[in-house]
Chains A and B, each alone.
Chain A
């Protein structure tokens, strides 16, 4: 039953570009990006219980490193993505090491992650090689000569790319959740003292989750860089980015495989529809979408702190 539902969903998603227009595709691409980033955050917070509010750092490094390699050395982003991943994991390793070795936990740890994202923002603002605050622009290849190995293509190409990445990330999380890692992470999250007494190495388990999460987030960065083709430190590393990407997993359901998917699928189109509606009504109100997200966040944490998916799954009988 479950597999049939997944197969139908998959076939439906593959067929979408045949019927959807540019706008619908752009919204779905956004949904898939949020699934990918949400799954990354889900690994660290949902499974391992480490609150990070600075994931924009990993996405940003994953965006800047491949973009710079491509611009200056002509390296394909398909190779550059691994360099971006390495940079993100290095940063995550430093933050994780600081946090875990010095016993910086909970809110303090979250603040540490914000601090590093902010340091990166200010540093990138002043680095000449990244274009500084003026931004980094990736030139578009003329029509017809666009090539997939340079991650250059139209909306349909990016639709399938982000769909594949979102599905892949969800698959990875589904596998991790059932693997030894998943059990160790949940044990460490739910009761670190008991886990340690049973011989779990807390440092190693948490560090693994942090590194996996950063690596996954950095992949989303490549899409950010090569889909939008411009990068500004003030946007890429901004705290609102870090907050934006945690909405889907929280609203969908932390520590569940489908939570980030459900959250992103509900939230992003709803936000876009609201923004479109406001524009239709002729109101010039740039904050409406965010106010709605904020109210939704408050409502969900009041009514269903464990998210929508666990409740929905029970209703549908698929838990």
Chain B
């Protein structure tokens, strides 16, 4: 085993991790602002994967290009979901919110199962085997493009929350809900916007995930869990934390799959989660509440 090979695995993990990070960012935004656990997060990722698959097989649209309209569609879906379904549950008992979204997840993933069947749906990109060679490291073209777009979008979302008026208003809701309402912010509207942004993130990430994995309903639970692990490892409410957590999990899984067995890679994410929960429950970049 050469160092170059190992470096290649790490780089591959970083690239996958950036896409995971974008997916988890959506979860972090929703959880951090609305304080609602989106237990259907992975299901929306799979929905986006199928949308990308349809776009590719029906119209030959590249998933990276399709990610944009799919992301916009997910935004609308999220906005409506928060407005019409989740809104009354804000501030209710945690288990009630959880059950509501677990119900949504169940309906969604099984509708996908009924619509597309249990078989995995692959997207065979014409450039799937193209790669760049930089020194000892070989970079897949598809994965590199997906990672770059995911990184850009993550930066965009972080920038939106930091620098725009709407983003600042949403942060105000997260920091002090009562205060935000007192100064006249339309909290309901901002929450719906937040849920929309959260689902837009997962929509874009999901569409690009088809370059890494075939679309299948069985992936949904795993994505939801992975999203949570990333958010908690990175630190709840820290948007950069989602990025860091995603990269860490991506590298961890790539290394575990390479050095041990691919089927055991999720074990390491869970062990990492248990360690973080026990030793640093606020996450790597989170602040103590």
Contacts and interface: CB of A to CB of B under 8 A. Distances in A.
Contacts of B108: 294
Interface string B257-289: 000010110110011011001100100000000
A126 B274 contact: no
Interface string A234-275: 000001100100000010001000000000000000000000
A118 B272 CA distance: 13
B221 A294 contact: no
A297 B267 contact: no
Contacts of A285: 114
Interface in A98-150: 98, 102-104, 106-108, 110-112, 114-116, 118-119, 122-123, 125-126, 133
Interface in A272-319: 285-288, 290-291, 293-298, 301-302, 305
Given A107-B94, A301-B103, A286 B281 contact: no
A285 B267 CA distance: 32
B104 A298 contact: yes
Contacts of A286: 113-114, 118
Given A290-B106, A298-B103, A126 B281 contact: no
A51 interface: yes
B120 interface: no
B145 interface: no
Nearest to B221: A239
Contact of B94 (A51, A118, A293, A302): A51
Contacts of B114: 285-288, 291
A108 B270 CA distance: 13
B225 interface: yes
Given A102-B278, A115-B270, A122 B263 contact: yes
Interface residues of A, number: 42
Kindly state the interface size class of chain B when it binds its partner.
35 or more
A105 to B, nearest CB: 9
B278 A290 contact: no
A98 B281 CA distance: 11
Nearest to B264: A122
A294 B98 contact: no
Given A112-B277, A297-B102, A298-B107, A287 B266 contact: no
B174 interface: no
A5 B85 CA distance: 40
Contacts of B228: 111
A295 B107 contact: yes
Contacts of B263: 122, 125-126, 133
- What are the nearest 10 A-B pairs in CB distance? A287-B110, A294-B106, A297-B103, A294-B107, A298-B103, A287-B113, A290-B110, A122-B267, A115-B270, A287-B114
5 contacts: A102-B281, A103-B281, A125-B263, A291-B107, A294-B102
Interface of A: 45, 51, 98, 102-104, 106-108, 110-112, 114-116, 118-119, 122-123, 125-126, 133, 239-240, 243, 250, 254, 285-288, 290-291, 293-298, 301-302, 305
